[in-house]
């Protein structure tokens, strides 16, 4: 072969190998590439309209993942049953129980598998073992209901459960607290009218005999047996207690949670918020919720990766199971009964890791259902609008305005031209709200980090959308908007970053995303400080009563130790 033909043949071979690797990459995945199912490439063979920077597969539920991360173990077992292999689920559960005889998630999944095999006596025995081992019986009543129906409809189970349940499976969860209103979310055993009674409290916080207000709602079967009860006519800056009733019978057994309304919008005050993401289910870390509760925050901001689903194509059984694990936890229920929750999602709850969901409202076909199941399980002030749905909304706490962002639902491919994380409608809303806000502090809450180089080499953070990030930061400077603070999550650690700006004040990005996760991300250069040794949360206190209002950021670990502290004065973040 002559030399030109030889080199041409070599070039052709290299090209063929490159194309093969590129196609294989879509299926097998390599880190920080463009990966998606075939239908995502139908419009453009070179650019997936939805996809991920990581392998698009079921790798999160592999044997290796289940061994490394406990949150995957129960999911792996349930998927085997959902895929028609309950015997395989039983075999795997037996392997886990041989290592840890007290593994309650494996015992729970044994009960589900036995139900699918029609072995109700074995299902009951597994259920009883799990409950007596400490698993809340509400897990079996919540379900997934269809999977456990053969057990829960049996006379033996109903007799066993009768004295152990109140009819309230999940909640009450407090949310949407303002100066004159609040909402209470519940999930009940049956479709019944639910009533919430609200009581005034005396100066010691004890409920008085006078009912401040009463509101009711019908549990909606279409919303997975949940109801949201709206409480109105409350007074600003006032403490209340409440009870939840069905047929005038208390579901809380006299243990009435308390909450505190906020001052009127614009009024000075002290407001403390606990925030974080990365809340994968880990039984030994669930005490983190009690740690947060002990510090009496005025609100809890959950910034994504709240439960870790990671399989958008699957039936709702996996999604429900993943939410129910957390919502049945006594520690979580204690905290959220008295602390208003404001939740956004991130990649692991919206679909899978490092995902962009594309510019369409109803494509891929599973996208609206993923948002719907999120909405069933939280109690937010809003979910965007019809033109731009998602987890974006505003919440006001005295003289602090918080703008929670949806960063996944309409996010476009970061490898394309002019990608957007927010979409035009949400972005316009954010810019207008920032411009018009009269609050002393304006907090922009994102599920992914704002600061550069937080996740080197990745397009998943705001680094993948630098023009849009600059548009937001530039708008703050153009409009001379004082008092902007950034909150974010995603990286499994807690940290603080200072983003210096050439034409404005420095922007501080306060991050925390290791609430209950066992998995940890290493600290990277450039932070003001970083902590990743144990689970932790961010605790931010806004004090607008001072002449120069302050923000105090603390990293608090699971053992209730303050690791690092940063104080920011309003004068430092003003023009």
**pLDDT confidence of residue 9:** 38
Do residues 376 and 413 make contact, with C-beta atoms less than 8 angstroms apart?
no
What stretches of 295-442 show up as alpha helix (H) in DSSP? 316-327, 330-338, 347-350, 367-376, 424-436
Full DSSP string of 44-111 = -TTS-SSEESS--SSGGGSHHHHHH-THHHHHHHHHHHHTT-HHHHHHHHHHHHHH-TT-HHHHHHHH
Give every CB contact of residue 562 below 8 A, 6+ residues apart in sequence: 554, 555, 556
Look at residue 462 and tell me if it is in a domain: yes
Do residues 299 and 340 make contact, with C-beta atoms less than 8 angstroms apart?
yes
Residue 446: closest CA among 395, 501, 408, 499: 408
The total number of structural domains that make up the chain: 3
Give every CB contact of residue 510 below 8 A, 6+ residues apart in sequence: 485, 486, 487, 488, 496, 497, 538, 540, 553, 566
Considering the entire predicted model, what is its pTM?
0.94
Dist CA 390 CA 196 (whole Å): 28
**Boundary of a domain, candidates 226, 259, 292:** 259
For residues 201 and 146, state if they share a domain: no
Burial code of 70-84, b = ≥16 C-beta within 10 A, e = fewer?
A: bbbbbbbbbbbbbee
**pLDDT confidence of residue 23:** 36
For residues 86 and 227, state if they share a domain: no
For residues 228 and 338, state if they share a domain: no
For residues 401 and 465, state if they share a domain: yes
Helix (H, G, I), strand (E, B) or coil at 368: helix
Q: Are strands 258-260 and 270-276 parallel, antiparallel or unpaired?
A: unpaired
For residues 235 and 287, state if they share a domain: no
For residues 403 and 524, state if they share a domain: yes
Look at residue 9 and tell me if it is in a domain: no
**Boundary of a domain, candidates 162, 182, 204:** 162
Q: Per-residue confidence of the chain (575 residues) as pLDDT tens digits? A: 444 333 333 333 323 323 333 333 333 334 789 999 999 999 999 999 999 999 999 999 999 999 999 999 999 999 999 999 999 999 999 999 999 999 999 999 999 999 999 999 999 999 999 999 999 999 999 999 999 999 999 999 999 999 999 999 999 999 999 999 999 999 999 998 999 999 999 877 888 877 888 899 999 888 999 999 999 999 999 999 999 999 999 999 878 999 999 999 999 999 999 999 999 999 999 999 999 999 999 999 999 999 999 999 887 899 999 999 999 999 999 999 999 999 999 999 999 999 999 999 999 999 999 999 999 999 999 999 999 999 999 999 999 999 999 999 999 999 999 999 999 999 999 999 999 999 999 999 999 999 999 999 999 999 999 999 999 999 999 999 999 999 999 999 999 999 999 999 999 999 999 999 999 999 999 999 999 999 999 999 999 999 999 999 999 999 999 999 999 999 999 99
For residues 485 and 428, state if they share a domain: yes
Look at residue 1 and tell me if it is in a domain: no
Angle between the N-to-C axes of helices 120-132 and 104-116, in degrees from 0 to 180, rounded to the nearest 10? 160
Look at residue 552 and tell me if it is in a domain: yes
Let me know if 520 is exposed, middle or buried by CB neighbors in 10 A (0-12, 13-18, 19+): middle
Look at residue 402 and tell me if it is in a domain: yes
Look at residue 34 and tell me if it is in a domain: no
Helix (H, G, I), strand (E, B) or coil at 332: helix
**pLDDT confidence of residue 558:** 98
**pLDDT confidence of residue 45:** 95
What domain range includes position 69?
62-162
For residues 213 and 360, state if they share a domain: no
Look at residue 233 and tell me if it is in a domain: yes
> Which tokens sit at 432?
């207008």
Look at residue 503 and tell me if it is in a domain: yes
């Amino acid at each position: 072969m002559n030399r030109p033909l030889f080199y041409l043949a070599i070039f052709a071979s290299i090209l063929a190998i490159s194309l093969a690797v590129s196609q294989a990459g879509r299926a097998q995945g390599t880190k920080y590439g463009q990966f998606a199912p075939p239908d995502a490439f139908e419009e453009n063979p070179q650019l997936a309209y939805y996809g991920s920077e990581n392998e698009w597969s079921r790798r999160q539920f592999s044997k290796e993942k289940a061994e490394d991360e406990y949150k995957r173990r129960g999911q792996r077992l349930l998927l085997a049953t959902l895929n028609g292999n309950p015997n395989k689920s039983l075999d795997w559960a037996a392997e886990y129980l041989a290592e840890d005889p007290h593994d309650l998630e494996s015992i729970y999944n044994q009960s589900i598998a036995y139900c699918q095999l029609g072995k109700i006596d074995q299902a009951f025995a597994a259920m009883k073992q799990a409950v007596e081992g400490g698993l809340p019986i509400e897990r079996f009543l919540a379900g997934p209901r269809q999977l456990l129906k053969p057990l829960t409809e049996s006379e033996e189970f109903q007799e066993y459960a009768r004295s152990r349940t109140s009819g309230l499976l999940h909640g009450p969860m407090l949310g949407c607290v303002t100066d004159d209103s609040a909402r209470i979310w519940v999930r009940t055993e049956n479709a019944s009218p639910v009533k919430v009674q609200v009581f005034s409290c005396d100066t010691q916080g004890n409920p008085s005999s006078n009912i401040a207000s009463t509101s009711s709602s019908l549990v909606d079967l279409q919303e997975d047996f949940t109801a949201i009860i709206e409480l109105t006519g409350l007074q600003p800056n006032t403490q209340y207690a409440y009870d939840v009733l069905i047929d005038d019978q208390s579901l809380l057994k006299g243990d009435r949670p308390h909450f505190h309304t906020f001052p009127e919008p614009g009024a000075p005050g002290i407001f403390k918020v606990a925030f974080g993401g990365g809340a994968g289910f880990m039984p030994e870390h669930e005490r983190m919720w009690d740690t947060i509760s002990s510090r009496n925050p005025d609100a809890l901001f959950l910034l994504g990766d709240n439960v870790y689903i990671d399989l958008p194509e699957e039936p709702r059984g996996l999604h429900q199971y993943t939410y129910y694990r957390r919502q049945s936890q006594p520690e979580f229920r204690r905290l959220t009964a008295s602390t208003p929750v404001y939740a956004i999602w991130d990649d692991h709850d919206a679909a899978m890791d490092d995902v962009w969901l594309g510019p369409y409202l109803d494509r891929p076909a599973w996208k609206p259902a993923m948002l719907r199941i999120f909405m069933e399980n939280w109690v937010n002030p809003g979910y965007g609008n019809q033109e731009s749905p998602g987890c974006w909304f505003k919440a006001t706490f005295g003289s602090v305005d918080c703008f929670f962002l949806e960063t996944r639902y309409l996010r476009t491919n970061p490898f394309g031209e002019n990608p957007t994380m927010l979409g035009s409608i949400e972005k316009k809303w954010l810019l207008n709200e920032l411009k018009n806000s009269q609050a002393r502090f304006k907090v922009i809450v994102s599920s992914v980090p704002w600061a550069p180089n937080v996740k080197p080499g990745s397009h998943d953070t705001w680094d993948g959308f630098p023009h849009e990030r600059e548009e937001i930061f530039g708008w703050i400077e153009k409009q001379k908007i004082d008092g902007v603070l950034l909150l974010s999550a995603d990286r499994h650690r807690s940290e603080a970053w200072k983003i210096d700006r050439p034409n404005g004040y420095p922007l501080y990005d306060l991050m925390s995303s290791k609430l209950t996760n066992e998995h940890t991300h290493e600290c990277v250069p450039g932070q003001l400080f970083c902590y990743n040794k144990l689970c932790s949360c961010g605790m931010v206190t806004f004090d607008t009563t001072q002449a120069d209002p302050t923000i105090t950021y603390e990293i608090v670990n699971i053992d209730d130790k303050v690791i690092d502290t940063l104080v920011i004065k309003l004068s430092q973040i003003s023009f």
